[in-house]
A = this chain, B = another copy of it.
Amino acid sequence: MNIYDIAKEAGVSPATVSRVINGNKNVREETRRKVLEVIKENNYAPSSVARNLSIGESQNIAFIVPDVENPFFSKVLQGITDKASEFNYNVFMFGTKEDSEREHRILESLKAELIKGLIIIPVSEIDKETAFRLKNFEKAGIPVVLLDRDIKGSSFDGVFSEDIQGAFEAVECLINEGHRKIAIISGPDTSRPGHDRVEGYKMALTSHQIPINEDYIVNGKFLEEESYNAIKTLMELEDPPTAVFSSNNMTTLGCLRYLKENGMKLVEDISLVGFDDIKELEYTDINLTVVARPVYEMGKEVMELLERRFRYKQEGDKQKVVTRRNYVKTWLIKRGSEKYKKFQEGNINE
């Protein structure tokens, strides 16, 4: 059942059926009614593939994420799809598993796909090939928007968070509690969140005249297993830190596992502040202080930036649209895990 069949049955031409479907006003009311009736009777839905081919455009948006399982991404996806459905866009998601190779392959296969736009959390901010491929999409008229992570030297739109400030507050909050030996479990410094959170960490220390101890900076790669090893390393130092800033949610889980396995208690044995909230912990004894972000809203915003590009393209790209990079604010949720045991015990003046 195609548009010709409908046309025949309604006694009109396919062009007219097409007009009815697309809400063209130049159709007699009576004709329109007849056509709609036939469409309904036959339970007909026009092939979007044929339509896409014909108009050279689709309503499909690709979303490329490094890790499908991380709750950050599912939450952000929620925001994206909610916003997307307002505009009747479909979102396909692809997982790179933090593997640049896979990312390239996905981008390669996307070249064939006639997508309307592309949202990506790139694996690495310095990967030349990804940067190149993304640029090609833009050249081909397919807008690209970055999420959370950046691409060095690029001028794509993007939605990020104020990670430096967030990390700064996290660490400062530990300092205010009296901590001086504060470690960070960092992430890949080929990613903006990775190095920015370290930067915020260092800034906080420096601005409080605390010297930076390189032994207290251990890379957990934003992975649970690595982070487990990272905190282990920290705790086995001769002079272990009294507090740890865990710069990612997976990292935090790794830390918690280490603590549990070694019978260590938050505050009691170690203070901890995390980055990105972990909903499930709310219901447990782990009252974790974290830097939180408006994750869902970031998803909506990234979709809005994309939509803005579409609009400008349609309006004829009057002038070059200026790049927009939105930085959302983070906030600290204090739940107690930042507290310093020594201080609690009355030793207020250190």
Chain A contacts to B: CB under 8 angstroms: 43, 45-50, 52-53, 58, 68-69, 71, 74-75, 77-78, 81, 90-95, 108, 111-114, 136, 253, 256-257, 259-260, 278-286
Contacts and interface: CB of A to CB of B under 8 A. Distances in A.
A251 to B, nearest CB: 12
Given A74-B74, A92-B92, A47 B112 contact: yes
Number of copies: 2
A48 B60 CA distance: 13
B48 A113 contact: yes
Contacts of A279: 253
A35 B214 CA distance: 56
A93 B93 contact: yes
Contacts of A78: 68-69, 95
A284 B282 contact: no
Contacts of A256: 283-284
A53 B45 contact: no
Given A48-B112, A91-B92, A91-B93, 16 more contacts: A45-B111, A47-B53, A48-B113, A68-B74, A68-B78, A69-B71, A69-B75, A71-B74, A90-B92, A92-B93, A253-B283, A257-B282, A260-B283, A278-B280, A284-B285, A285-B285
B284 A112 contact: no
Contact of A48 (B114, B281, B284): B114
